[in-house]
Structure 1
Amino acid sequence: MSTEEVKKVQAPAASAVADEGDDHDGGVEAGESEEPQAYFEPVVKLNEVEVVSGEEGEDVVFTMRAKLFDFRETLLDKGTGKKTWCERGVGNVRFLKHKEAGKVRMLMRQEKTLKIIINHLVESRAELTANMGSDRAWVWTCYDFSEGVVEPKTFALRFANAENAQAFKEAHESAKKNNKALEAGADAADTSAGDEAAKALKNLDVKKD
């Protein structure tokens, strides 16, 4: 085979490598821009809106993921008085302490939707009881405000394990003690120094020039 014939045979192979390189680069030479230059005015302009959660004046003192159940009438049993445990949602149950008032409330939002499913102050008389003897679920009653009106509720929270359930119970007990102390007036500031200053001011003899 002559030299020219060898060159003719090898030529398609070289062309194939070049084509592969073109496909890899999208068929565009280096430095060439494919970005569109046209500008379209948006049909609807949305203004930035500040979202207020209602939690700005509170500190999170505890958070734990759990599943919430509500002991209530189903839609089919509405008005019959028959109640059953209904799953209400999964999310983080939290204890929030108000920065000024000092009271602690329990708040839980449903994952993804962020809908409030628990919202009430931790009552100093509230008691957690084990659900059917389980070591990872607690039941309690309260006056809840999650639906926009205060109503008596019976809730149950189920945690991933017994350790998480115990941690929740300890945080709940701590919140109860905190709120009970506030109800007893322990949040009142020590005014003894102010009283002494007022007494001294009262006895002060002010002379006119």
Structure 2
Amino acid sequence: MHETVTRSVDSTIAVLKKRGLSVHLVMDADGALTQHGDLATDILWHASQHNGASFGVEVVNPYYPSYLKPGLPWSRVIKAPWAHKGEYVLPTPAQAEAVAALVRWATSAPAPGIAVPRVWPGLRDGRFALGLVDAAAKAPLPGVLAHQYFGHADGSMLVLYAWLPIEAGLAPDIAFEEAVKRATGVRRADVRDLLPTPAVA
């Protein structure tokens, strides 16, 4: 999961071309996806050691508060020590829910060649990493990954959000505000209270 530091799908595609990068899907502010590669067969260049067994999603987001302008669909900013420069422009709620829907779909073995395990490498001991995950930095890992786990400072808020409705069962509007609350001012988002209680024998 990537975030673009752009304001539109067109500018995202232009930046990717200029940098010699590519992704399978680009998500607009309203959650609409445009596809740029076959999810099952195309190896595209977006995630260094993870390129071979993955598909990349770029979520359009200005990311930096200085890139916001009146009239854009993004407006909320949080204090985020895990973000580059310590502040982060939140994705739109529509983007967050579209990410969760995409993760649900991708982890349900929807088509031949697409089999993303429903595992969360950023979740450890009841806390979600909002930064580097050592294991992801060293070798490809299965599951739902943020670019931030092994590269740049993006995607971790979206992975945290996706986990909240999928695994904790929260409604989208509640999940969004929970993600905001849990990702603000911390480097690891505590979700211990949302983990299933082990069955007593």
Report the structure number with the largest CA radius of gyration.
1
Larger relative contact order (C-alpha < 8 A, sep ≥ 6)? 2
Q: 1 or 2, which has the higher strand percentage?
A: 1
